[in-house]
A = this chain, B = another copy of it.
Amino acid sequence: MSQTPITIPARRGKAARVAHGQTVRIINTHGEQVVDTWAFNAADIGEFMSMEHSRAGMLHLTPHVGDTLLTNRRRPILTLVEDTAGNVHDTLIAACDRWRYEGLGCTEYHDNCQDNLFQGLSELGLTPPEVPSPLNLFMNIPWTPSGGISFDPPVSTPGCYVVLRAEMDLVIAFSACPQDILPINGRAGKPTEAHFVVS
């Protein structure tokens, strides 16, 4: 059991093992930073947190405190137990990837959350079987009554955090989103590090 904050470096990924019953506090250290989050069953990486299964169970577009996120086999994997970020998170949008940045006009390699998932897990000797749709903590994607959605600037403040409780032994993976073209990490376009504590 560790209480030492672990750094998710700016524009990079980081993963860690979490035991059933432990909690993970994800801290938006400098504010305005989106943190893409994935979780995999430690005993079988083919089972993982799934946004489309979680929505069917939570009956919410984004997790509220007390909601449990489900795997692609409909089993509880993480519960949101605390949230000081005003419940502004996203389950709708894919991780950014190289094709996203090509579409935004980049002609050279751009850091991206999909590659960060692979990089973070590779440090634990793991390779994900696919790229699940992430839980995008602190990401501001509002919806309208007619179903319009938009990529809005963040409302997360420095030091705000969420706490997730592990409902099985799992591997959690994060990406400090490197998006600096859209204002999703703030209008300054300066993605930052974030931190997490497993306890």
> A-side interface residues toward B, CB under 8 Å?
50-53, 55-56, 59-62, 64, 72-75, 92-94, 97, 99-100, 102-103, 129-131, 133, 143, 145, 147-150
Contact = CB atoms under 8 A, between A and B. Distances in A.
Chain B CB count within 10 A is highest, among A52, A64, A131, A145, for: A52
A100 B74 contact: yes
A133 B52 contact: yes
Contact of A129 (B53, B130, B147): B130
Contact of A103 (B51, B61, B74): B74
Contacts of A59: 148-150
9 closest cross-chain pairs (CB), A and B: A52-B94, A74-B99, A61-B147, A52-B133, A53-B94, A130-B130, A56-B93, A73-B99, A60-B147
A62 B80 CA distance: 27
A93 B75 CA distance: 16
Contact of A147 (B51, B53, B62, B102): B62
A74 B64 CA distance: 30
